[in-house]
Structure 1
Amino acid sequence: MKHLLKFELRACFRRPETYIMLIILSVSGFLIGYKQLTFNTTADILVNSPYAISSMVGLLSLTGIFTTTIVAAFTLFQEADAYFSQILYTTPLTKSQYLITRFSPVFGIGTLLLIVTIAGYMAGQIACPDKVAYGVFQLKAYLQPLILIALPNLFLCTSFVCGMGWLTKNKLMVYCAGLFLYITYMVLLMYSGSPLLAGALPQSAGAMSIAAILDPFGLSAFYEQTNPWVLEQKNRQYITLTGNLLLNRIIYLAIGIVLLMIVWKFLSLSLSIKQGKRRPIELLHNDTFRFQPVLTVTNRNYYRLLTLKSRVWMDLKWILKSMPFTLIVVALVFFMSMEFYDGIDRGIRLPEQYVTTGLLANRILYDLPGILLLVSLFYTGELYWRSTESRFNLIEDSTPAGRRLGFAAAWMSLSLVIFIFTLLIIINGIIFQIVYQYLYIDWEVYATLLGLIVTPLILCVGITLWVHKVIPFKWIAFSVSVLLIYLLTGKLGKSIGITHPLLRFAEAYVGKYSEMNGWDNYIAAFLWKMIFGFSIILVFHLRSRTFRIIAVLVCLASGIFIYLHYPSLPGKNKLDWQQSYEQNYRRYNQLVQPAITHVSANVELYPGDNRYSVNAVYFIQNTSNKSIDSILVNFEEEVSVDQAYLIANREKVFFRGKKGFLLLRNALQPGDTASFHFSFNYHWNPFVGHKAFNAIVQNGSFIRLSNYFPVFGYRSDLEIYSPVERRKRRLGMPTPLEQLGQSGLDTRDFITLDLKIGTAAGQTAIGIGELRGTWSSGHRNYFSYYATSPVPFRFGISSAAYKVQRLHYKGVNVEVYYYPRHYENVQRLLTDAAGTLDYCRKNFGTYPFNTIRFAEVSQFTTGFAGSSYPGTIFMTENMIFHTNLAGDRKQDVINELAGHELSHQWWGANQLVPDDREGAKMLTETLAMYTELMMAKHTTGMQSVIDKVAMHRQIYYSERGFSQEEPLYKVNPDNTHLYYSKGLVVMYNLSELIGEERVNTALNHFLKKHIYPNPVPVTTSLLEELYKVSNPLEKQKIDSLFKMVTKI
């Protein structure tokens, strides 16, 4: 056995693919460490902390799925591939010896590859010159997760993959085993609490505990143990082999051992000869034979067509009738069913979604292509080398068809298999719609989806087949094809700068589907890339000179079109101009600038063309006691400025460029006024993508317009905030957030507004303030909005083919503009809005407008469920309007959003508006969360309040360990979990401490004292009002809640 083991190990190290994997994994590990790649959500966690290293080592251990699959495929079947099995089984080799001499090399090579990867990761961290984000180097931090997480994972992978190979004696079943392990990890990741799922909805503690036990790789158990840790623990503390982590490791080590025992029990080292049912032999008389001439095909094209048909049919039978195909179908259906359920059931926070075609299409589009790409890579290698491994290629090559026709047949066969896989998943989606009784099935969307998924995968198969054709060694070709495909389509390529669409022509469709907006213009860009990609492949495979010339011309034409439509603004250039901006203008941070007092704007929207134009005037005034002789003007980089000029003291001064100074000959004296005129346009490019807050789309546009209007003064938000990048560019510390007690410039711009919006015929444009009038002209609709009383410089617009429902409630018009098919929750929204108006007007003060309108926007806008502006609230289609309130947990999201967003008309969006300083978010978001909580108390009862508080307490505990925590009254705007989740719990505790009535009294007094143009509100002023309605003992507890970092 010793000699056999040496022989097997020697054979593994003689294979060039072993060294290719060693090089790829070691270099990848080094780059991950050197570039400080991490999945931590903030920079406060040290890059080489035990938590960060354990998390990364756990993720790197997942490479064991693929390495053990590949090593097992060429180790377990080398005798069968060489037709040596018959001789091997005649030797006096015992089952134990056979299993040990096969298992050990697979596990040993896998261990070596894993150690090399982690060693590369460690070396990269040591070699990194930027050590600011590092703590003290500790070898234990790398060894502990290797022993507790990575090696047990590798043992399980090896046991499962080898066991499947031994029991089935089928190489494709080995690939299926690897795929099953990967799918299991992806499914359990949804319930793990992993920071990999940034922005994911919170899971219940029970779901996380189950995932911690069931996750075969232990990562869910790791996150369950470490999520409650605070920052100091994550930077210093090591994981402990206790609780669910210990139980998980014991269970899956035991499963690995049991798998090997089952294999030992059932493995047979003899060639089994299957005997079928004997049929009686029929004696045929000689007179039954009759000579018939054989039809000879002389037409070359017809012969090729028949041969191609025969080859495709043979390949399809080999694939479709095999057990691996059946198991892959089962695995895909299971995986996508879990993804569908995860998309429908939104966890403990949001209600169940309606099972629409759009919802399922987006889940399929996001999850399926990557899995099918993995499957196609394995199938491509096996199918292409099938004839060679069975020694049948010599006969094939001697036929007139040759290898070229075999290549075409393999490409067609695999394309059909991909089509079948995708079609089955789409049918699975349709079944989900029927089961959940949402019977509006959009067949056109499913048909388009089929093409969007299958087309790039067919292109990837063509590239992979070409690599196998060029490289005459199967496993080297396989390694190269995997690397090439993931460079062209995956995140690996993007991380090293492969971002241009001419290089990522095989990438899967990256857009999304919106029920309001459809696919928009992304499909056009996708088709151009597909045309370019297929033309490249055909240039190398077409035989006819004429057709090859046509392919070259198509390749050139499509490539030139893509190149001309892709703007050159890579990430590095953006960092360069950010650096230049800070170095040139930061010194003017405290420069006195004029205040904008009135904005008059004409906005022309062209949804069908994905563009809009703006022609506007600022009326400005020097409200300071100093003269102003220069104005620092900032336009957004992504807009195209047509013209800009200032008229002041009968002087017209033109501004050119996007950022710079306007120099005045005659300075603006205190109290002087002037006007700044400007026009710009914007158009987004589908090759680059749209901006979430600047989404001018065909239906359901949303534009946070004030973000793209010019701003006066230095903009600290344009600074580079990456600590690593700042140190590299020697920029020092970024501009600090204004401290609570610091007295600076009053940066609140309150304006009166006159806004006219033109949009396409059939659409309604929504602005802010009051609607003055509507009219039509030149096949376009126009809408005029105004705000005569001062409102914050914060305005957004939307445009869609809306249906509207209205409610006149106690002098206020409540209006909901919605997509006609999303009608289910409109009446509920009107009712809950009326209830919120009652509560806020009774306890906080008057509502300043005659109208409050809610407008639905497409899910091409991301980043919020609802966003509040003066007199208008915008809400995305997939978060509010189309949720099933009667679902499993009956979460009342409509009441939550109505209470939260409508209360912003008092807190943050209109009346009480703090400036940018410590604690500002407590005065806006925390107070809105309090209002939301009180609305839940008065509409659904105290139990719903208790459940909500428990949920937000869980969110706070799971997120607090990623950043340094400050007291709530000094909260940093980056720490959303503090002013949302902890803020809600603190306000609940406050209301329980002094009572809801006294809290509201304090808030009412605070609002009256700091409503614009009264002094700027700060959190200490709010605390003073709370002190006034509290006794001395309660004051101490209030300080504990707001001024200390304490458990809640």
Structure 2
Amino acid sequence: MFSTIFIHEIKTWFKKPLFYVFAAIFLILGMLVMAIPAGFFDGDNATTTSNSFINSPFEILKSISIISIFCYLMIPTFVGSTIYRDFKNNMHNVLYSYPIKKWEYLLAKYCAGISIYLILIFLVVVGLMIGGYLPGTNPELLGPFKLWNYVQPFLIVVVPNVIFYSAIVFAIIVFTRNMNVGFMSILTLIIVQLIVTSYVDQVEDPFWLALADPLGIVATGQTTKYWTPIEQSFRMLPFEDMILWNRVLWAGISILILGLVIARFNFAQNAATLFKSKKSKKVTKENTSGISKIILPTVSTDFSLKGQLSTLWLLIKSDTKYIIYGWPFIIIAFLAIVLTFVMMFNSGLIFSTPLLPKTWVMLGIPSTYVLLFSFLLIFLYSGFLIDRSNSAHIKQIVDVTPTKSWLFLVSNIGALVLMLAVLQVILIICGVATQSLLSFHDYQIDLYLFQAFFLNIWKYIPWILMSLLVHTLIKNKWLGLAVLVILGVAIPTVTGAIGIDQAIFDFNSVGEPSPSDFNGYGDALAPYYTYRVYWILFGIVLLCIALLFYRRGMSTDVAGRIAFAKARLSKSIITIASISLLGFIGLGGYIWKINNYDNERLTGKEQEERRVNYEKDLGQYLNIAQPRLVAVNTFMDIFPETKDFKAGATYTLINQTMVAIDTLHVNVTDYPVEFTLDRATEVVYDNEDYQYRMYQFNEALQPGDTLIMKFTMHNEENRFMDNKSPIASNGTFLNNSMYPSIGYNDAYELRNVKLREKYDLPPKDRLPAATSPGATDNNYIGGNSDWIDFEATVSTSPDQIAIAPGYLIKEWEENGQKYFHYKMDSKMLNFYSFLSGRYEVVKEVHNGVNLEIYHHPDHTYNLDRMMKGLKEGLDYYNENFTPYQHRQARIIEFPKGYGSFAQAFANTIPFSEGVGFIADVDDTDKDAVDYPLAITAHELAHQWWAHQVIGANAKGATLLSESMSEYSCLKVLEKVYGKNQMRKFLKDALDGYLSGRTGESIKENPLMYNENQQYIHYQKGSLVLYAMSDYIGEKKFNGVIKRFAEKYQFKSAPYPTAIEFVEDIKLVTPDSLQYVIKDMFETITLYDNEITDATYTKINEDEYLVNIKSLVSKYRSDKRGEKSYASVAGDSLNFTPKGKKKAISSLPLADYIEIGIFGEENEETGEEEVLFLKKLKFTDIENNQSILVTKKPVEVGIDPYNKLIDRGTNDNRKKVTESDSKKKEE
């Protein structure tokens, strides 16, 4: 009987058009997902590139995992309906009378459902296979075709997930006989999975979290977390450890669920339950009364506009109650609340430290998930409302009522809008509750209400109208839901892929305005509402189409519905549709004019080709002799009220070369600019596309001659939806990158190797080698300048303070503007900023240095931490490096609309409101990082590393700036918080480096040859320099740094290089530790250290013998992550652990690695007691150590503070257990 039912169900599905519709959808979806990264849609787009093969198991796993989440929503449609069909058609009463075994009946239904669904979802895999080989794709992005690359992720990830989710859905529908509940169960599981994954980065060992994830995303993500490009291209997904246990666990749970279903199921007419039901008492009612006379009320009809509006309101109330009281909404709303609280309580984590729960933070944190919930509710309930009368079996009665069809559709819209309003109110309550629970009482209710009801709800209206049209045209609400989900994902993906980067062509695409405490929403509201109106007008056109095809009456075939549509085509519909369409086209034309006619807009391909032509046309001038900028006297007039600026400068340039210069090469700006030179010239080249101009001197500029160049510039007129200026009404932040510069700018060139090959450009690294000719002629920041004299006059509104580098010489008001004259008393880099805002100022003096923090009046939360960072930094850097060169240090806050970062200019540190100022640092949380202090210390360190010593514009340049600043910052943090806290900082740095190298787009370089690669110079650099200090001693290492700084302080060409710095380190490093320099600076070397066993034996009350077993290995990595275990001489180590088949390989070892033994944590500070911490020499892979300590050990570790680069640090520590021999004696 099993086979009979199974085959019948399979045949039934093969006869249904729905199966083939989904088959086509899934196949096309798979093709698109692979075709896009394969370059199929390059056309006018920028060329698609990848550093790993896109048809590798890793990339296919990512694609399948993402697609599957959306596909799982369709499990109720296929798996659930196999059993639900019997209940829906009342066939179960007949079937249950047959002598069928329940396990045969249930398993046949279940297996048929998952078989059909697995066939469909495998078509996604088939689509992935086809998509990479469509005509027009780039074969260089694909590796060799291997069927197992596609099948393995499908078998490991998709099949177990389908079995589990199908078991859940099947069980729920069996017991509830309700498809809607089945769908909600899938949705609930997906949302729970989102909650689980949101905690991954907050736990040190994610093993148990990986087990708790039914989709296996955490397990696969953690397993592949640090895979390099070469591993991503060729390595198969290992079916072991986390992945194996996760799959086995959830397969077992699936079997358990099915067993429970079979055990509790019975062939009864009424639905079964998982729980025993109480028998109710039988009640008999007697109806002996006579015939009663009923007086019916008189019915009055009212078809006036007022009557119709009254009817509309009643329908809206009815539909709204249907939604709000429905279980789908209640469940989704509840999950939204849970997830929102989870996200809000962990708001904006930076270094495991959250932001203060300010209202704009509360509004922004859960926005992605709120968007997801809202769209799901719209897609779901638009179908429910359209199908409501049919589901209630009263459709024919409703259809013959005199109520006009537009009332039903408009009532659906009203109900969906009210549903969203309820959801927004819930989110506001969540936000206020979170703020209250966290003892933060600056609620800003007006901001909550404005964001919720004047911004958020409006963005959903076009999708409401689209959803009603889709569900009107598609009778099957689950198919309609699938179409809407796919549209919601596919529209932005496909439009971006085919080069549609304008919001007027991307359905409902509008940039989301984000409020700032400085200037609210700034200029974002005008374009936001314009685009909203634009897409709502289009939505009204869709609504008119939906009204024409609204399902009403018995005819459901295509011809019948078209006939109905023609009959409904009234003048009012034509008028409304025409006005909306004309408004849509007219407004779209206006927006297009602004974006394409009034402003230059280039496609990705055009931008790419312009960069190529720039290099081909002008690259010959890369090393041409040009005068050097030696002095800048500038003015910047800022007009916050009109958001305009006027600026200008006098550049003093000197020919410092040995040859005469006949032509001046100038990079002009994005703004209208006028130049004046103090000698006769002729413009011989002026290219607006390249913004490049050449002035030929009538008389050549001789060596030693001075040139004065003046310019003035301003923004074009700001217009509606077309802001031509970077000025903010409060908190303006500008820098000199907007000013003209001298000489050819090679930063505009393409750097990707494959792109350069495509356009016949010679290979070129991102930075030249430090030993190449001319590499040390320029520093990596100043361009065609060295150390300059600087003076600036900045004006702004009378209620604002304007700031530029230097010291305030004079302050006055004139012509309605407030002026500030700044002048630097020493040489500085050609790198300066201008800021203006309504600030409050905190001032202190520390050891003769004026410390100032200019901040928003409400942002007082972390000023003491920032001030402490300035003081501690000054103390440490002055003591260990060179004297601070300025008499002041200033932090100036700027709006987060400019970005969330801090940046160091001479004695001036602009600092975003999005970082530091609103951090919620908990000093009692041992995992939290005081990053306001850390960022301050880092940026202050740049006053030494960049503003005293600046590296050559060559490989390794940022080792001398960013890495040194990070090291300096770590030392300040160590001084303030102690060595025990360094484990957290170093672990974050290690994780950042290992994660960063997985996304390397060109090639990874060793630290001393890095090409301004952030994950190397920030994360790896800080780790390496801190470790080097630890190996040779802080005092000795700082001595190297101090001598290096004294040697190159304010030095011009030839600028110092990382090679010179490393050579200085070698001079003070003993022979036994020279390998550390090679491993950390000169090569890419990684460790794989592990504690395999740790026991202790109690000798007496004050002595414990700790026995530690460990495995130590290391390897080199090339630019793409290929591992090498052999030395230059070809030597390597190999060891096969007992009971394991796979051998461990390693480079030859003579390494000193720290071993730590730790006792109980201090109850007050939470810090672990260090019983033993020492570097021991390791020469073998397998190692055994016995160490005597004076207190009971709790935990041991190899490299316990993460000073080495180890890809798997979760096994570096282990709890100590008492040895078995000692237990037996007792």
Q: Secondary structure in 2 aligned to 1:758?
A: strand
Checking the alignment, whether the CA contact within 8 Å between 1:453 and 1:508 is kept in structure 2 is no
The answer to whether 1:457 aligns with 2:460 is yes
User: What amino acid is the match of 1:884?
Assistant: D
1:316 matched residue in structure 2: 320
How large is the Cα RMSD of the aligned pairs? 3.3
Match of 2:623 among 568, 590, 598: 590
Structure 1 residue 88: Cα displacement = 5.0
Match of 2:960 among 923, 946, 953: 923
Q: Secondary structure in 2 aligned to 1:619?
A: strand
User: What amino acid is the match of 2:12?
Assistant: A
**Bigger Rg, which one:** 2
Distance 1:420 1:618, change over 3 A: same
Match of 2:1064 among 1022, 1025, 1041: 1025
Quick one: distance in 1 between partners of 2:322 and 2:49?
A: 50
Quick one: distance in 2 between partners of 1:285 and 1:767?
A: 97
Post-superposition Cα deviations, 1:763-804, rounded to whole Å, max 9, x if no partner, equal 222222222233333443332222243211212222222111
Distance 1:188 1:761, change over 3 A: farther
The answer to whether 1:641 aligns with 2:679 is no
Quick one: distance in 2 between partners of 1:709 and 1:522?
A: 26
2:78 matched residue in structure 1: 71
Checking the alignment, whether the CA contact within 8 Å between 2:465 and 2:539 is kept in structure 1 is yes
Checking the alignment, whether the CA contact within 8 Å between 2:513 and 2:528 is kept in structure 1 is no
Structure 1 residue 532: Cα displacement = 1.9
Match of 1:156 among 152, 164, 174: 164
Quick one: distance in 2 between partners of 1:872 and 1:697?
A: 20
Structure 1 residue 272: Cα displacement = 2.6
User: What amino acid is the match of 1:102?
Assistant: K
Structure 1 residue 418: Cα displacement = 1.8
Q: Secondary structure in 2 aligned to 1:978?
A: helix
Structure 1 residue 247: Cα displacement = 1.1
Quick one: distance in 2 between partners of 1:94 and 1:367?
A: 45
Q: Secondary structure in 1 aligned to 2:824?
A: strand
Structure 1 residue 877: Cα displacement = 1.3
Q: Secondary structure in 2 aligned to 1:699?
A: coil
Checking the alignment, whether the CA contact within 8 Å between 1:486 and 1:493 is kept in structure 2 is no
Post-superposition Cα deviations, 1:437-487, rounded to whole Å, max 9, x if no partner, equal 111101111112212222221321111112333455655544444444445
The answer to whether 1:298 aligns with 2:302 is yes
Structure 1 residue 125: Cα displacement = 3.0
Distance 1:978 1:412, change over 3 A: same
1:766 matched residue in structure 2: 803
Match of 1:186 among 194, 200, 208: 194
User: What amino acid is the match of 1:176?
Assistant: M
Q: Secondary structure in 1 aligned to 2:882?
A: coil
1:546-945 alignment runs, 5 A limit: 551-552=580-581, 554-567=583-596, 568-636=601-669, 639-649=670-680, 657=688, 658-664=690-696, 665-682=698-715, 696-703=727-734, 705-723=735-753, 725-734=755-764, 736-744=766-774, 746-748=777-779, 749=785, 750-862=787-899, 864=901, 866-886=902-922, 888-889=925-926, 890-908=928-946, 910-945=947-982
Q: Secondary structure in 1 aligned to 2:132?
A: helix
Quick one: distance in 1 between partners of 2:819 and 2:141?
A: 54
Q: Unmatched 5+ residue regions in structure 1?
A: 193-201
Moved more, 183-192 or 985-994: 183-192
Quick one: distance in 2 between partners of 1:313 and 1:268?
A: 40
The answer to whether 1:355 aligns with 2:357 is yes
Checking the alignment, whether the CA contact within 8 Å between 1:809 and 1:834 is kept in structure 2 is yes
Distance 1:471 1:227, change over 3 A: closer
Question: Structure 2 length normalisation: TM-score?
Answer: 0.78
1:521 matched residue in structure 2: 523
Moved more, 590-599 or 182-191: 182-191
1:369 matched residue in structure 2: 371
Checking the alignment, whether the CA contact within 8 Å between 2:181 and 2:328 is kept in structure 1 is yes
User: What amino acid is the match of 1:259?
Assistant: I
1:198 matched residue in structure 2: none
Match of 1:497 among 496, 499, 502: 499
User: What amino acid is the match of 1:243?
Assistant: D
User: What amino acid is the match of 2:186?
Assistant: G
Checking the alignment, whether the CA contact within 8 Å between 1:487 and 1:498 is kept in structure 2 is no
Q: Secondary structure in 1 aligned to 2:981?
A: helix
Structure 1 residue 129: Cα displacement = 5.1
Distance 1:225 1:1036, change over 3 A: closer
1:990 matched residue in structure 2: 1028
Q: Secondary structure in 1 aligned to 2:897?
A: coil
Q: Secondary structure in 1 aligned to 2:1030?
A: helix
Post-superposition Cα deviations, 1:688-738, rounded to whole Å, max 9, x if no partner, equal 9999xx9643333322x2222223222222123445544544445345521
Q: Secondary structure in 2 aligned to 1:972?
A: coil
Quick one: distance in 1 between partners of 2:356 and 2:424?
A: 22
Checking the alignment, whether the CA contact within 8 Å between 1:644 and 1:656 is kept in structure 2 is no
Distance 1:892 1:978, change over 3 A: same
Checking the alignment, whether the CA contact within 8 Å between 1:647 and 1:653 is kept in structure 2 is no
Quick one: distance in 2 between partners of 1:994 and 1:916?
A: 29
The answer to whether 1:168 aligns with 2:163 is no
Checking the alignment, whether the CA contact within 8 Å between 2:5 and 2:109 is kept in structure 1 is no
Structure 1 residue 931: Cα displacement = 0.9
Moved more, 261-270 or 213-222: 261-270
2:1141 matched residue in structure 1: none
Distance 1:283 1:688, change over 3 A: farther
Distance 1:14 1:605, change over 3 A: farther
Checking the alignment, whether the CA contact within 8 Å between 2:526 and 2:721 is kept in structure 1 is no
Distance 1:546 1:375, change over 3 A: closer
Structure 1 residue 805: Cα displacement = 0.5
Question: Structure 1 length normalisation: TM-score?
Answer: 0.90
Q: Secondary structure in 2 aligned to 1:62?
A: helix
Checking the alignment, whether the CA contact within 8 Å between 2:82 and 2:110 is kept in structure 1 is no
Structure 1 residue 139: Cα displacement = 2.7
User: What amino acid is the match of 1:100?
Assistant: L
Quick one: distance in 1 between partners of 2:790 and 2:673?
A: 22
Moved more, 669-678 or 85-94: 85-94
Distance 1:253 1:701, change over 3 A: farther
1:28 matched residue in structure 2: 29
Structure 1 residue 190: Cα displacement = 2.9
1:199 matched residue in structure 2: none
Post-superposition Cα deviations, 1:49-68, rounded to whole Å, max 9, x if no partner, equal 44333333333433432332
1:10-29 alignment runs, 5 A limit: 10-29=11-30
Quick one: distance in 2 between partners of 1:515 and 1:221?
A: 40
1:388 matched residue in structure 2: 390
Structure 1 residue 268: Cα displacement = 4.9
Quick one: distance in 2 between partners of 1:541 and 1:1040?
A: 66
Distance 1:733 1:14, change over 3 A: farther
Distance 1:1046 1:300, change over 3 A: same
1:197 matched residue in structure 2: none
Moved over 6 A (4+): 273-277, 279-286, 650-654, 683-691
2:1154 matched residue in structure 1: none
1:205 matched residue in structure 2: 204
Q: Secondary structure in 2 aligned to 1:667?
A: strand
Distance 1:760 1:371, change over 3 A: farther
User: What amino acid is the match of 2:263?
Assistant: K
How many aligned positions are there?
1024
1:977 matched residue in structure 2: 1015
Quick one: distance in 2 between partners of 1:684 and 1:880?
A: 35
1:1005 matched residue in structure 2: 1043
Checking the alignment, whether the CA contact within 8 Å between 2:337 and 2:427 is kept in structure 1 is yes
User: What amino acid is the match of 1:222?
Assistant: T
The answer to whether 1:223 aligns with 2:221 is yes
Checking the alignment, whether the CA contact within 8 Å between 1:396 and 1:403 is kept in structure 2 is no
Q: Secondary structure in 2 aligned to 1:328?
A: helix
Checking the alignment, whether the CA contact within 8 Å between 1:60 and 1:118 is kept in structure 2 is no
Which structure carries more relative contact order (alpha carbon 8 Å, separation 6+)?
1
